[in-house]
Amino acid sequence: MLSPKAHPAINQTGLRANLGQFSLLMLINAMVGGMIGLERTILPILGSQTFGLSSTTTVLSFIISFGLVKALMNLIAGVLADRYGRKRILVLGWLVGLPVPWMLIYAPSWGWIVAANVLLGINQGLAWSMAVVMKIDLVGPQQRGFAVGLNEFTGYMAVAITAWLTGYLASSYGVRPVPFYLGIGYAIIGLGLSIGLVRETHGLVQQTTSTNSNFWQLVQQTSWGNRTLFGASQAGLINNLNDGMAWGILPLFFASYGLELPAIGLLKFMYPAVWSVGQLITGPLSDKLGRKALIVQGMLLQAAALGLIVNTTSFGWWLLSSIGLGIGTAMVYPTLIAVVSDNATPASRARVLGIYRFWRDLGYAIGALLAGIIADWLGMAWAIGLVAGLTAISSLLAHLNLNKA
């Protein structure tokens, strides 16, 4: 395995005691989020306009490959982190991510784009997983929602800013190569900081407990055996199912009404930007008021926002819908991670979070595949409407199962 530069061990939990490392991990996760933001606005347009793809399902194949690989990486990231340490897996994730922007720039065919997203899925599954697990390690049990909220804030604010920047750059300089230069910088900075400055946090978990659990028992418990963890896992899957649809379908949907790239980029900025900032409120709020209400109501708000998008035809309504979708996602996203952390022992937390994140990010692939098939068969409006309905059903399942959250 990799042998990154060693640093003195961290031997105390709490945000104040570990502010420097916590802030460093926030910056690194911004780089991780930026890698996703590269694709949010322009990649569906690249598929339909540059490569001439007529099938929506084919256009969305890059999200399907990304979602499947990221889900699998989430599943094993916790196991690898418990065995080899968090820092090594973080560095490995960045090494795999280095070629991605170059492949997007020089791809001669759509197959290269899909292959780049396989590497991006590995990068995100390892690097983002380690960023959140290491923050939870650092702050201890009393501030999990706060830690997750800050982590997701930085990641998704970078997604939002990069989505807007790529739309602006594409309108000025073309879809390739200039917008993807941002990704080269993100990958170099993320890898350099991870190797040079990040300190291992696994020792904090080893200090708290020596309990071990069988991995497949944890899979069973997290997926369906524990009602609260089942409620969280299904909500996470549907949350990312609608995000996978939004990633691939909404730019094409907006463009079909004549919206230009800068306006599409603004809409694609607003959704993750509100999501990002909102988590600064909802993460700590879930620590104080509980998790269940935020999750149930957040899923309902997402369903309503998607319904508004499909039933309106103007930029103003779409902007309002994007804000609502961002607020609903902010209510759900960090709260679900906190629920899963609440229901896992310190020794198994990285693995349980990995299992939850497997189901959550499998939603990207399912959402893109389902939305692509429905869009090709019945049209994009039907795809958006179906996902809105599934999100409302998920809210009901969360209400019925998150009894202890």
The CA distances from residue 399 to 128, 225, 306, in Å, are 28, 17, 20
> Which tokens belong to 108?
């001669």
**Per-residue pLDDT tens digits for 347-376:** 787 788 889 989 999 999 999 999 999 999
> Which parts of the chain have pLDDT scores under 50?
1-2, 208-211
Q: Which of 168, 199, 230 is the last residue of a domain?
A: 199
For residues 178 and 270, membership in a common domain is answered with no
Claim to verify: residue 136 and residue 18 sit in the same structural domain: yes
Tell me, yes or no, whether 188 and 229 share the same domain.
no
pLDDT of residue 330: 93
Q: Do 143 and 233 have their domain in common?
A: no
What's the pTM value of the predicted model, to 2 decimals? Answer: 0.84
User: How far apart (Å, rounded) are the C-alpha atoms in residues 337 and 229?
Assistant: 10
In contact, 103 and 112? CB cutoff 8 Å: yes
As for how many domains the chain has, the answer is 2
CA distances to 167, 259, 323, 329 from 318, rounded to whole Å, are: 17, 11, 9, 16
Token reading at 217: 């028992």
pLDDT 10s digits, 216-255? 899 999 999 999 999 999 999 999 999 999 999 999 999 9
Print the domain residue range for 244: 214-404
- Residues 154 and 276 reside in one and the same domain: no
The predicted structure's pLDDT at residue 337: 86
Same domain, 193 and 221: no
Residue 405 is predicted with a pLDDT of 55
Q: Are residues 233 and 160 part of one domain?
A: no
Candidates 383, 386, 360, 385; CA nearest to 372 is 383
In a domain, 251, yes or no: yes
Does residue 207 sit within a domain?
no
CATH at 349: 1.20.1250.20
Domain end call among 173, 199, 225: 199
For residues 191 and 218, membership in a common domain is answered with no
For CA atoms 322, 325, 327, 333, the dihedral sign is negative
Q: Does 205 reside within a domain?
A: no
pLDDT at 136 (0 to 100):
82
Q: 6: number of CA atoms within 13 Å, CB side?
A: 2
pLDDT at 133: 84
Residue pLDDT, tens place only, 56-76: 899 999 999 999 999 999 888
pLDDT (0 to 100) of residue 9: 56
- Please say which residue of 199, 222, 254 terminates a domain: 199
Q: Is residue 2 part of a domain?
A: no
